[in-house]
Homo-oligomer: A and B are copies of this chain.
């Protein structure tokens, strides 16, 4: 693949992301995306087989970048509790710097359907959840965490972090770092064993 081809693809993907984020999945037509990129519709058709292929590339690229970003933060921690806090902080940090991409991906994953009417990317975002699940199971096995259902915890933590994104989107003035520390505290209290105090 030539250099100019790759550049065009990146440009089109970027335009698709900003368009989906701005007007939503349903209104993100090829015409609007082409308009956003200031190119003709057929350029998109030339570089991507069809709309589905374009959206799939959008999701693929963002998810990959996301996982690459979080990895070093997770690997730097040794205890399950530390990894959990790092997970929350790094996922939130990535969201702060890439919220446009993540909103677009969320729109696409939720709304993109196959001909049968069922979602296509059902398990695509399961990767970060699986990572989190592993952390929780490890903490339970080593006895670092209290007894709980790791599935419920993983789901709730994921949802809680996503909630920060949602809230931030609606209240742009929010201090996401402070929000993140609240979440870290919240889930530390929710996972740690009871300690004798005073």
**Chain A 17-32 interface 0/1 with B at a Cβ cutoff of 8 Å (1 = within):** 0000011111100000
Asked if A15 is at the interface of the complex by the 8 Å CB criterion, the answer is no
- A111–B110 Cα distance when bound, in Å, is 10
Interface centre among A152, A164, A178 (most CB of B within 10 A): A152
A155 with B148: CB separation less than 8 A = no
Asked if A196 is at the interface of the complex by the 8 Å CB criterion, the answer is yes
Least distance between A154 CB and chain B CB atoms (Å) = 9
Asked if A130 is at the interface of the complex by the 8 Å CB criterion, the answer is no
Least distance between A134 CB and chain B CB atoms (Å) = 17
Which residues from chain B contact A163 at a C-beta distance below 8 Å?
155-156, 158-159
Interface centre among A153, A185, A190 (most CB of B within 10 A): A190
